[in-house]
Structure formats: C-alpha cells, structure tokens
Amino acid sequence: MEPTEIPYPNPSVISQEIYTGEAVLVNLDTAASLALNPSGVIVWQLVDGQRSFEQIIEGVRDYFEDVPNSMEADVTTLLETLKEGGFIGFELKKT
C-alpha cells in the first residue's frame, strides 16, 4: 500500500454499532459483513476519502496513547481486508 493512497468508503456499506465501541459493516452490494473491534472502528471512521494512508496511521496514533509497533501493519491488514470485501476503494493522491 502506497503512503499516498487514499481509501474511500463504498457508499453501499452500512455500519451498525453492536456493542460500545464495536461495529459491524455490511456491504449491501455483496452481502459481505465484517465485525470491527474498537481499533477497527477508529480506522473505519478515518476512512473518509480525504485522508491518505499516512494520515490514517497518524490519526490512529493521535487517538490512542500507547500504540504498539505493529499498529501500522495491523492498519494495513485491516485496509486490505476492507478492500477485498468491497467495503472501501483506493485512489492515488495527486501531487
């Protein structure tokens, strides 16, 4: 994943909070669903079609006090899972 790639949410995806801080995403195009833990919910909220991958990483760092070293890999994995499920798309930021 390129640092300048900008993930954007699929407008056919709905999000429903299931427990405090946790949510389920449902892709209405494919009926795929995905449960998100609190960290995943923060990433999902940062995917707005405006922030680059780098900015999402920084947003997660800003939100949580103690971020483990594996956080960037975890966010990358989640974004790839969201992409594979059709929950998000990517575009390259024009410089």
Q: How confident is the model at residue 94 (pLDDT cuts 50, 70, 90)?
A: low
Domain span at residue 47? Answer: 5-92
- pLDDT tens sequence across 31-59: 999 999 999 999 999 999 999 999 999 99
> In total, how many domains does the chain have?
1
What CATH number does residue 33 fall under? 3.90.930.60
| E strand or H helix that includes residue 40 | helix 38-46
What is the pTM assigned to this prediction?
0.90
Confidence of residue 6 (pLDDT cuts 50, 70, 90): very high
**In this prediction, what percent of the chain has a pLDDT beyond 90?**
79
43 vs 67, residue with greater confidence: 43
At residue 69, the pLDDT reads 86
**Beta pairing class for 5-9 and 22-27:** unpaired
- How sure is the predictor about 95, in pLDDT bands with cuts at 50, 70 and 90? low
- Indicate the pairing of strand 13-19 with strand 5-9: unpaired
Q: Do the beta carbons of residue 88 and residue 79 sit within 8 Å?
A: yes
Phi-psi region at 81: left, alpha or beta (left = phi > 0; alpha = psi -120 to 50): alpha
Q: Half-sphere exposure of 12 toward its Cβ, with a 13 Å CA cutoff? A: 11
* Cα–Cα distance, 32 to 63 (Å, whole number): 28
